[in-house]
Amino acid sequence: FSSSPSPSSMGSEAEIERVLWTEEEIARRVAELGAAISADFKGAVPSPVVLVGVATGAFLFLADIAREITVPVAIDFVRAESYGAGTESSGEPRISGDLKIDVEGKHVIIVEDIVDTGNTLSRLMSHLEKKGPLSVSLCTFLDKPARRRVNFELVGEGKFYRGFECPDYFVVGYGMDYAELYRNLPYVGILKPEMYK
């Protein structure tokens, strides 16, 4: 494979400038988060707890953390769209795909790839709150607090879990994309500057 960007190599390792978290570091942290959730929700009533993955970015994180959680869970997805193909949030995210599971009276844990401005999450929180859940927690793989513009509130006794605090870069990999590419990289990294066009 060529190491310089060309249409056929786009979306591969060659465009990564720097790795922020390796596959091994991610696995260790996800196991810790899964253990924390398992301890906090042990014996929780009602059961199961509903894990709500935010498509598409959370698909790998959800798959990995679900296998580290030892309490009964149900799994569903919502789809939120804010970015289009760029690196800046539109500020008006849209819920374009809704839950199949009825979460009224249930414990819900939102599973997100990254919370950046907070727009998507606050929109999603109020969307879920209207369904009458007993609690809504957040489990986000990455958190970029430096860029927060909108605050969000957990519902009921909801808890906050986060994998890593992310420095102020646009990151890709482990589910996260740039123009729908790079989601399948098993680590998280920053692209070479020339890739952002």
Q: Is 83 in the site for ligand 5GP (CB under 6 A)?
A: yes
Single out the catalytic residue among 64, 116, 143, 177. Answer: 116
CB 110 within 8 A of CB 130: no
If one counts every other C-beta atom within 10 angstroms of the C-beta of residue 158, the result is 18
Pick the stretch among 27-35, 37-45, 99-107, 114-122 that binds ligand 5GP (CB under 6 A): 114-122
Among 59, 164, 170, 187, binds ligand 5GP (CB under 6 A): 170
H helix runs in the chain, sequence order = 23-40, 59-66, 119-129
What gap in Å lies between CA 40 and CA 105, rounded to an integer?
A: 18
Among 11, 34, 118, 158, binds ligand 5GP (CB under 6 A): 118
**Is 76 part of the annotated catalytic residue set?**
no
CB of 178 to ligand 5GP, least distance (A): 6
What gap in Å lies between CA 81 and CA 34, rounded to an integer?
A: 26
Residues in contact with Mg ion by CB under 5 A are: 54, 57, 83, 113, 177
Among all residues, which ones are annotated catalytic? 116
